[in-house]
Structures are given as structure tokens and as C-alpha cells.
Amino acid sequence: MTNAALAPWTGPHGGFPRFDQIQPGELGAALRTGMDGYRADLAAITANTDPASFVNTILALEVCGRPFGRAAALFGVYTSTMNDKAMQALEAEMAPVLSAFGDEITQNEALFARIAAVHEVRAGLAPAERRLIETVYTGFARRGAALGAAAKTRMTAINARLATLYTQFSQNILADEESQALVLHAEAELAGIPASLRDAAAADAAAKSLPAPAWRFANTRSVMEPLLTLAATRGVREAAWRMFTTRGEHAGAQDNRPVITEILALRAERAELLGFASHAHWILDDNMARTPDAAMALMRKVWTAASARVREEVAAMQALAPAPIAPWDYRFYAEKVRKARYDLDQDEVKPYLQLDKLREAMFWMADQLYGLAFTRVTDVPVVHPDVTVYAVGRGGAHAGLWYFDPYARDGKQSGAWMSEYRTQESWPGGTAIAPIVSNNANFVKGAPGEPVLISWDDAVTMFHEFGHALHGLVSRVAYATLAGTNVKRDFVEFPSQLHEHWLATPEILERYAVHYQTGAAIPPALLAKIETAKHYGSGFKTVEYLSAAIYDLAIHVVPAAEAGAIDPLAFEAATMRELACPPEIVMRHRPTQFAHIFSGDGYSAGYYSYIWADTLTADAAEAFAETGTFYDRATAERLHTAIMAVGNSVSPEAAFRAFRGRDVDTNALMRDRGFPVA
């Protein structure tokens, strides 16, 4: 009997994974069987006695190992959203196995020889084929395909150990988030906390069988940020802040501090093996920034203006506070200043921000910009009952599937993210494949029948992650390796950050920001206040992010000879001193919970990419603003054809020039954040 995790995705809507037939316990066997099939496909490529060509080598590599790819995608769904103890054990078992398999492919000398041979004669091929060859060749070379035997052996050992450490880091955070919560037993301690959050906390406490009265606030960002913003009791805010910001920092089996130090040492050694001065130099060499110095220069430019703005924000808050502003006070008193200065607070806005209505708003935006139609379907099995599925159409044709998994639960990683179950492709002579993408969040369910109300920042995050999903859904690229979000790390955040801008448009708010009790549209006067206050808090948001991004880059430029002696928290303290970071703010992700950079290589030495991409975002947003509307048809069509649809089939620099007609104006970023332009 075929393992369901390996089976082709068939059925209506372009086919889909059969979560109703998949047994999580069989995923390990599926991955191992899939690897064997992948090896057989690779052996067929290398055994071919014909001269290496695009078709018999590059295209053959593009389509081999498909059953393994399906199993790996499903494994990712389970480990990120359904990671119970059994799945955690399987994840720990398979992480080094999967890493070694990746190295086995990269270090296949016969395969790389054929890739290199095609790379040598690529000039006569079509642009899309040349781009694919260049991407494949560079990927193999950057991962050590040309190293000597001893270096390859060491590389495999390093990568296997890193895979284990990344899994350990993630599981340590998850363990702290699941085992720690802020539990309140006195109603007086709930002062300032909105009813929706109180009710959700009461329901959570009841579900955990805590003796009443009790309110249990989960240790996740979606709960902690509104609590820190609105809780009137200072002791409650401090307890919440300390719990949230020290995840992964407690002595014992779940301490991420030694994990980080070992990760840093191994990354630095790997970079040295590959001929780079540091891990950061290796990462940025294949991104738009090219060098750590270029990325740091942009961040330092913005830091000066942002930290100056923070000093202004703190001075205004201190006038209202009876004691010096501490990090657990910042959001609370910032909200008071917002109320005093702009007559605007979250309590006034949040009743108009219903999760379901915002989902409808995103669909409307996608229709206006790209002609996409989202239709709920119930004949597609899901991994958990909370997940809903939508068929996506464009011009009457099927364009993909979108899965939405919005609620927190045990075993689900924190935060919000987009993932891709299947990437779009349509190469000549092949079968066109529609994408399957998902958006995932960690909102807390309300009482049965009650709408879930979210903060403005969480609404922005929804539009951000949906921007990633749209990047995958509107892709029109021949080869999956170049399609959708498979772009440079410091370019991938550009489409997502750009789509945040549509939330605040009157067209969205007037239609979908309706009061959860009365159904009344958000009042024009409140819209005007939101617009007037749009730059308020930009100092805090920018410094909170930049401090983390600068830390990430600084710690990854340390050479191999020194990396193994780094204390990640001492390095944090030294970096913040060197920056003269305002003491009222800590890094958005403190080291022991900085999953972006320590749970995998993805954003390591690359957290700067959000600000790098935001230079593109701000300039692109001005392109719409210059037309007088964010729904200008011609500009939206240009965004679609030049940026969203092309993936990595053209360079990011060329894609942006095709959209804007010129290179990026970095001063647009300063204007967007309300900072002075030099």
C-alpha cells in the first residue's frame, strides 16, 4: 500500500494533499522512501551518456524527486502547526537525516559536473533557461559542490549538527510558550484589559481546568502585545514582559544560550570552508545588499533618525508617567500619548477590526489589484478543523488554493507566516501546476459565536502575510525553482510589506472596518484620526526592529576564530551599548527566542532584509500615491507583470526598474516613516 504522504495530489481544484488519509506517524517512512526515489532519479541523470544539456540535466533535475517534495512539504506543515511530542521526536530524528541528504545531492560530483557543463554553454539559450541554469549552478557552488573530499566531509557534519541545533532551538521556544502563561486570579488585576481578551483568557483558563476565578494569558505575541498596551496594572505588565522576553533563556534542558553559541561557531567554520570571511559575508554575497557593510550602512542611516524620534516619544510619555518609563511601560504610555495627542486609542479602533471581515477585505484587495476571486471550498481535507480552504480563480480559470489557519493551539509555532505547499510552474511541454499556499497566525479564539477582534498591528501583519501568499498565487513562471517567493532574501519581503499599505486605504476601511456589535462602518472622523496619527510610534517600531537586525548582522560577521566564545546575551548588551539603544526598548526578538535567525539559515544574517525591502516598498507605494489612488489599474497591472508574476526569473534590480522606471529612491523610506530626509 502506497504511503499517502508520497501520493500525487489529485482531485478537484488542481489537486491537494490528502490530510484525511495521511498518518503523521508514517511521515518518517515517507521521507526515507522519497529520498530513495530521489536518488534513483538523480542516478538516471548522471548515468545518461549523452552530453549534458538543459533538458537532460537541468530540466531533469527540476522535475526529479517529486514524491519526496510532497512528503517534505507535509512534514513542514505538521512540524510547524501540529508539533505534538511524537512529531517533535520525529523532527529531531529526521533533521540531521534531511540535512545529510541535501549535502549528498550537493556533493554528487557527477551531477555537478553535468550542471557545470551546461553552465559553460548557457549563452545560446532562452533567458528563462539561462536564469534557471545560473540559479542552480550558483546554489550548488555556494553549498560546497566544488570543495575537496575532506572539506565536503566536514561540511556534511557541520550541516547535520546545525539541523539538530535548529530543531532544538525551535522546540525549546515552543516548550516555554506552552509551559508558561500569565495567570491572574483577581479581577482588579484585569483593569484596562479589553473584554474580548479577558473572555478569551477566562476560556483558556477553564480549558486548562484552573480553579476559578482565573484568567490565563498565553505566552505568545498576539496575546502579550495587547496586554502590554492596555493593562493598567504595572505589575501585570512587568510580569507579562519578563515572561515573554525571556523565552528560551532559563537554565536547564530548554536553555537556548549554549545552542546559539554552538550555532555561531559552526556557521563561522562553514563560511571559512567556503572561502568567506564570515557567515554574514557568505549570506549577503547572494543577496541584493551583496556585503554586510552595505546592509549596515542603510540600517545606521535609519537608526540615527529613529533613535532621535524615540527620545521625543519617551519625553512625551514621561510627562504622563509617575515613574521612569521601563520597557514594560512603553506600549502602555505610548497609547496614552496617542489618545492625548490624536484623540485615538486601540480600544476605539479594535471593535471595527474583526478577523473575518479583514479576511474579506484581503480578498477584495486581491480582486481589485489582480482579478483574483476566492471561493470557500469544503471538499478539501485539512490538517486541523480550524483550517479553511479557498479555491482561487483568475479570469474564470483556476489559479490555486489558499489555506487559512488563524488560531493558536498547542504544538503550533508562534507568530504569523506564509508557507507554500506547492509552487507554481508551467514549463514548455510540461503540465501547468497551480500553487497551493497558506497563511498561518496565532489569534486567540473568542467565546462561541463571538467575533475575534484584533489590533491594528495584527491587521497589518495579516495584510503582510497575505502579500506573501499573493506573491505565490499570481506567479507566472516556467520553472518552480524560480517561481513565486523563491527570490532573494532581501527582496522577498518587498511584496509583503507593500501590501500592508492597502489596509489603511479608505476603500478597505469604509467597506470592511465595521463595528462588531452595530455593523456600522468606521466613522469618517475616526478614519481621519488614523491617517493623522499614522507616523506616531514610528520611532519605537523602527528601533525595536533595527536593534534586532543590527545584532543579527553584527554577531554573524564574527570570524570563526572568535565565534565559539560568544555569549549571546553579553553580545546583546554590548551591541545595545555601542548603539546607545534607548533603555526603554529591547530587541523585537531577543536572542534566545530569535527564531528568524537561529531556527534555520533562512533569515540568519538576513534580518536586515525587512528594512532593505522597505526601501523598495516605500518607493513603490509612492508610485501608487502619485496616481491619487492605491487602486490605479495601470499601476496595479505594472506591479503584477513586473514584480508579482515574475518570481526570480529576472533579477530583483531589473524587476524593480521595470515597475518604477528607475532604480530605487532610498529617501522614500525616510519619508514613509516620517523621518527627516538628509
Q: Measured in whole angstroms, how far is the alpha carbon of residue 86 from the centre of its chain? A: 25
Average pLDDT over residues 44-73: 98
Fold adopted by 24-174: Neurolysin; domain 3 (1.10.1370)
Q: Do strands 436-443 and 397-407 pair parallel, antiparallel, or not at all (unpaired)?
A: parallel
Cβ neighbours, 10 Å, residue 212? 9
Q: Among residues 569, 555, 550, 567, which one has the least CA distance to residue 279?
A: 555
Give the residue from 330, 318, 350 showing the smallest Cα distance to 228: 330
Distance of alpha carbon 255 from alpha carbon 136, whole angstroms:
38
How far apart are alpha carbons 269 and 258 in whole angstroms? Answer: 17
Domain ranges of the chain: 24-174, 180-245, 351-470+499-516
pLDDT on residue 118:
97
Confidence of residue 373 (pLDDT cuts 50, 70, 90): very high
Paired strand residues for 226: none
Task: Choose the most confident range, by mean pLDDT, from 198-207, 445-454, 541-550.
Answer: 541-550
Cα–Cα distance between 482 and 479 in angstroms, integer?
A: 6
Number of C-beta neighbours around residue 665 at 10 A: 15
| Interval 391-400 mean pLDDT | 97
Q: What is the pLDDT of residue 199?
A: 92
Q: Please state the rounded mean pLDDT for residues 651-676.
A: 95
- CB hemisphere CA count around 510 (13 angstroms): 6
* pLDDT the model gives residue 446: 80
Confidence (pTM): 0.94
State yes or no: pLDDT of 30 exceeds 60.
Answer: yes
Whose grid coordinates read 499556499? Answer: 437
Q: CA 566 to CA 376: how far, in whole Å? A: 50
Predicted confidence (pLDDT) per residue in 354-369, tens digit: 999 999 999 999 999 9
Q: What is the mean pLDDT of residues 441-448?
A: 88
Q: What is the mean pLDDT of residues 529-536?
A: 91
Confidence class for position 2, pLDDT limits 50, 70, 90: confident
CATH superfamily for domain 351-470+499-516:
Collagenase (Catalytic Domain) (3.40.390.10)
- What's the pLDDT band for 448 if we cut at 50, 70, 90? confident
User: So what's the pLDDT on residue 347?
Assistant: 82
Burial class of residue 148, CB neighbours in 10 A (0-12, 13-18, 19+): exposed
Q: Would you say residue 674 has pLDDT above 70?
A: yes
Compute the distance between CA of residue 434 and CA of residue 432 in angstroms, rounded to an integer.
7
* Nearest CA among 590, 606, 576, 672 for reference residue 221: 590
- pLDDT score recorded for residue 363: 98
Task: Tell me which long-range contacts 379-383 makes (C-beta under 8 A, separation of at least 24).
Answer: 379/11, 379/12, 379/13, 380/11, 380/13, 380/16, 381/16, 381/17, 381/18, 381/19, 381/20, 381/21, 382/19, 383/19, 383/77, 383/78, 383/81, 383/82
The pLDDT of 484-491, averaged and rounded, is 96
1 has pLDDT over 60: no
Q: How far apart are CA 350 and CA 34, in angstroms?
A: 47
Q: What mean pLDDT, rounded, does the chain reach?
A: 96
Q: State how far the Cα of 665 lies from the Cα of 207, in Å rounded to an integer.
A: 52
Mean pLDDT score, 386-393: 98
Residues 6+ apart with CB under 8 A from 522: 349, 352, 509, 510, 513, 514, 515
For residue 41, is pLDDT > 90?
yes
> Catalytic site residues?
465
Q: What is the largest CA-CA distance in the chain?
A: 80
Q: How do residues 271-326 score in pLDDT, each as one tens digit?
A: 999 999 999 999 999 999 999 999 999 999 999 999 999 999 999 999 999 999 99
Q: Which three cell numbers stand for residue 449?
A: 459565536
In this structure, what C-alpha cell is assigned to residue 88?
517533535
Per-residue pLDDT band at 611 (split at 50, 70, 90): very high
Measured CA to CA, the distance from residue 18 to residue 7 in angstroms comes to 9
Instruction: Please report the pLDDT score of residue 478 as a whole number.
Output: 97
Which residues in 8-65 belong to E strands, given as ranges? none
Question: What are the φ/ψ torsions at residue 443 (nearest 5 degrees)?
Answer: -70, 155
Beta-bridge partner residues of 436: 401, 422
